[in-house]
Amino acid sequence: MSQQIGQLAETLVANWLKQQNWQILAQRWHCRWGELDLVAFTETPQPWLAFVEVKARSSGNWDADGLLAITPAKQEKLLRAAQLFLSTYPEQAELPCRFDVAIVHYQQVYDQPQSTPMALFPTVELGQPLPMGQYCLMLQDYIVAAFD
């Protein structure tokens, strides 16, 4: 998967979260343990901090749309990265935290006219494909508290 696909998938999920009244605090936050794709905060119905792992896959993948790529070792790296994020931003440390997983399906579209920029789309809905550049992306699933 190219870096471009990963960025498009994260943008798709970030826009969907914003529509669900979440605020994106960080995207592609790097530390020595790796990367947190998205860090999001909401106050409704109660305050939550979500560390969101975004997995983008095309048809015919071999890892259950990215779910098998989230091994116990990967979960441990995400946990350590989240701990480092919270130590870097101690004002967030008292919030209840969870790890969510977003599954994004993508397909390359050939000979496609230039699509509308993501910012102009009124809504992102689960299961609804959206053209983004040379690709068509779809938020296939959003798993809340995936590591519990």
CA 60 to chain CA centroid, Å, is: 21
- Contact between 67 and 103 under an 8 Å Cβ cutoff? The reply is yes
Q: CA 34 to CA 74: how far, in whole Å?
A: 9
- Contact between 116 and 87 under an 8 Å Cβ cutoff? The reply is no
Average pLDDT over residues 5-10: 94
Q: How many domains does the chain contain in total?
A: 1
Q: CA 107 to CA 133: how far, in whole Å?
A: 11
20 part of a folded domain: yes
94 part of a folded domain: yes
106 part of a folded domain: yes
The torsion angle over the Cα atoms of residues 49, 130, 105 and 143, rounded to 10 degrees, is 30
Full domain range(s) for residue 125:
3-143
148 part of a folded domain: no
CATH number of domain containing 64: 3.40.1350.10
139 part of a folded domain: yes
134 part of a folded domain: yes
Strand partners, 72: none
56 part of a folded domain: yes
pLDDT in tens, 74-127: 999 999 999 999 999 999 999 999 999 999 999 988 765 555 555 555 589 999
pLDDT in tens, 31-73: 998 999 999 999 988 999 999 999 998 887 777 777 777 889 9
22 part of a folded domain: yes
